């Protein structure tokens, strides 16, 4: 056997780990639109090394988010185990939206599909079937509106991803209040869903500046700034 064989394999494994770590950082900060070239730079390897380990973007996304998709599927199982159908449903929504808030890249993965990433899609399918059961339980208990369908959850996640991306570190908990208002809309007769405090005017102003298109690198203010 070639004496360099094990050493070469160890080096290849280290490179793979570096690429995965760099991809996690890039996706969390920039979303899954981060390029393979930028990930290679973060990892300190050549682009050819990235493609040798992960021939497609989907393969890299699958490897990076496999554990999070498993946690996503498990969140439904935990919700179904809750003896209170509404508490299980509401807790599931809050948990998944929190996962989005913690990782921008994963927030995007939840609202996209990757047909060639079979393991990722299998976990998504398992979570979907669990969600259907979760909705049925809450409806049967008379707590969830009967017109709520699984696609409404996709819309909720898309909306939450937008809130998280827009507010960022300027108002990092704004998504919590958004989710509380969404749950109120899903509940029969509005339900009793406590909402966290609203973001301060100054934090939302910073978020608006952060999200606004820029001219010469600076956002233009067309009205008075809120009191701070």
User: What pLDDT, on a 0 to 100 scale, did the predictor assign at position 11?
Assistant: 82
Q: Give 209's contacts (C-beta < 8 A, 6+ positions apart).
A: 170, 219, 221
Is residue 88's pLDDT more than 90? yes
Mean pLDDT of the chain: 86
> Would you tell me how many other CB atoms lie within 10 Å of the CB of residue 52?
14
Is residue 215's pLDDT more than 70? no
User: What pLDDT, on a 0 to 100 scale, did the predictor assign at position 149?
Assistant: 95
**Which structure tokens are listed for 177?**
């209040």
Rounded Cα distance, 134 and 44, in Å: 45
Mean pLDDT of 126-144: 94
Q: Among residues of the chain, what percentage have pLDDT more than 90? A: 49
| Structural domains in the chain, sorted by start | 9-55 (1.10.10), 58-196 (1.10.357.10)
What is the Cα Rg of the chain in Å? 21
User: What pLDDT, on a 0 to 100 scale, did the predictor assign at position 133?
Assistant: 96
Beta-bridge partner residues of 215: 218
Q: pTM for this one?
A: 0.78
Mean pLDDT of 172-187: 93
Q: What is the DSSP string of 97-117?
A: HHHHHH-HHHHHHTTS--TT-
pLDDT category at 191 given cuts 50, 70, 90 is: low
**Which structure tokens are listed for 149?**
């369908």
Cβ contact 23:64 at 8 Å: yes
Of the two residues 113 and 188, the one the predictor is more confident about is 188
User: What pLDDT, on a 0 to 100 scale, did the predictor assign at position 218?
Assistant: 46
User: What pLDDT, on a 0 to 100 scale, did the predictor assign at position 213?
Assistant: 66
DSSP state of 213: -
Mean pLDDT of 176-199: 87
Mean pLDDT of 127-147: 95
Is residue 77's pLDDT more than 80? yes
In this predicted model, what pLDDT tens digit does every residue of 109-129 receive, in sequence order? Answer: 888 888 888 888 888 888 999
Rounded Cα distance, 161 and 143, in Å: 26
pLDDT category at 107 given cuts 50, 70, 90 is: confident
User: What pLDDT, on a 0 to 100 scale, did the predictor assign at position 4?
Assistant: 52
Is residue 17's pLDDT more than 80? yes
End-to-end CA distance of the chain, in Å?
70
Spell 6-25 as b/e; 16+ CB within 10 A means b.
eeeeeeeeebbebbbebbbe
User: What pLDDT, on a 0 to 100 scale, did the predictor assign at position 199?
Assistant: 87
């Amino acid at each position: 056997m070639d004496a360099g064989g094990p050493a070469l394999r160890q080096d290849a494994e280290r490179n793979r780990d570096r690429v995965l770590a760099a991809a996690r950082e890039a996706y969390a900060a920039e979303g899954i639109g981060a390029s393979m070239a930028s990930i290679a730079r973060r990892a300190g390897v050549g682009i050819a090394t990235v493609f040798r380990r992960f021939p497609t973007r989907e393969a890299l996304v699958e490897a990076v988010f496999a554990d999070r998709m498993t946690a996503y599927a498990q969140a439904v199982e935990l919700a179904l185990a809750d003896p209170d159908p509404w508490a299980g449903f509401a807790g599931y929504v809050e948990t998944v939206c929190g996962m989005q808030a913690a990782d921008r890249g994963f927030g995007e993965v939840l609202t996209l599909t990757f047909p060639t990433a079979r393991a990722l899609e299998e976990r998504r399918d398992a979570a979907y079937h669990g969600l259907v059961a979760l909705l049925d339980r809450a409806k049967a208990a008379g707590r969830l509106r009967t017109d709520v369908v699984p696609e409404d959850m996709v819309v909720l996640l898309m909306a939450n991803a937008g809130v998280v991306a827009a507010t960022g570190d300027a108002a990092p908990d704004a998504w919590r209040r958004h989710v509380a208002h969404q749950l109120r809309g899903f509940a029969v007769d509005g339900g009793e869903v406590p909402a966290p405090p609203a973001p301060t005017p100054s934090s939302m102003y910073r978020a608006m500046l952060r999200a606004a298109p820029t001219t010469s690198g600076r956002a233009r203010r067309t009205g008075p700034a809120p009191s701070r």
